[in-house]
Chains A and B, each alone.
Chain A
């Protein structure tokens, strides 16, 4: 398989109050293969969302570059779709209208657009809810609409920023397994950011663990494909537990580090780790 996305020594620094520089992510190199389901976990504030913003083309890296199919990313485009934790649905548009949004930008004629939107709403199990406004939908349904909206304009890469974090446990599990089946059918490349270790191991073919600030890729854990082939309750398999523990251990160190940083920050000393200053 070829690399769909390539992060090449990507750093992003922000200017904080004129003098100090803040390194959100630091020399990240990462390859995501075509059609791969890649999960990224990391302690809060490790720059996961910055990573997605960069990939989405909403901001540009301070150094390094991000390649999509070998070409550097220049800005937002419909070849990448993003699903946010807070759904980001347009409240004045019906479910159907929301799904049509990207297709409008793409210039799809109205009739086809409507038909496609219906099809994608059906795909996420929302047939019959086309005319509902977002406030008339539950959290899970809203996220389904958001997923349908991102899939509808047929991006090659689907980026998901903790999409299920705000949902209750049952809804989350349902959506996770539905997402897997959508992924298997659509063969999209998915980059999925999450806090949840279970979620990452359950969904991802690979799980990238990020360090606490400044964000780097600490380690990538491979999830064997036979684990996900099992029809059983995957989460109860010993292999799942082992992987879960592996990710947990990697993450735990970083969480502790992040907490220390936080504490230091509260005491007034700069929260930026010494290495960051060197690179910045």
Chain B
């Protein structure tokens, strides 16, 4: 904690407005996003829990829409901060977990679980079942992260092109495995697979939102402690070690966090790409490259981004619903090309 505050003073210290305005914006967009949709919501529906009178509309609001908007904020925040961490770790704004194949790794592992978990010779204990998907997704994400770390350090050291090429290979493998799972799946499994490879927040519940909130709070606490060391890492690994940062420990911790965040987000919401690329970039453009701001603010920006995307996906073709993953990809693809154009001198 002291490390976070004992450091060079930030210009907005003592000024509560940025934090306060962020909180207000977040709350307002949460309320706004919950009010719009196929089913109209009146102000009485907001008060329904007080009267214990559940009409159809208040049920939609309290049991479907609120958990969903909340999960959009939380999952977006998880993806945003995971992106900021990965970019800091690999020292490049293009090092997005999605592009590098971390999301695909998690998706692969989860798809294999959906299709094959029941055909295994042993029975899963009932208590483990709800955790099976997040756990395997975490495992898949971790495997990819470790591979990438190896590539970044040994195979093509210091080159973002090498990392992105590795990402292409990993993503190709993931597409193949997902295809195989689709091919082998039963009808029911196929529905849950396709709903989920395109990315959707429709599976939200209060329990999932609660777990996500806990994870995000713990991440926030960790990230505040790591921010200084992440700043030093921008100097390169050797220089970071020279100024006294235990780089190996920092790497391990960052990789674990990225894998956990991406694994959980993929397990609950499917493949949602580009939030982790765009959110940290927006923060850096608006507030500079200081990781003490980039890391925490990426949570908010990622959350708002996914909330807006999901609300649009829900309402644009209402009552039909566009999968939110398609929406973020449509938004993020051009954005990535723009970033590529900005940093073309530094690639290679």
| A and B associate in one complex | no
Q: Using CB atoms and an 8 Å cutoff, list the residues of chain B in contact with chain A.
A: none
Q: Using CB atoms and an 8 Å cutoff, list the residues of chain A in contact with chain B.
A: none
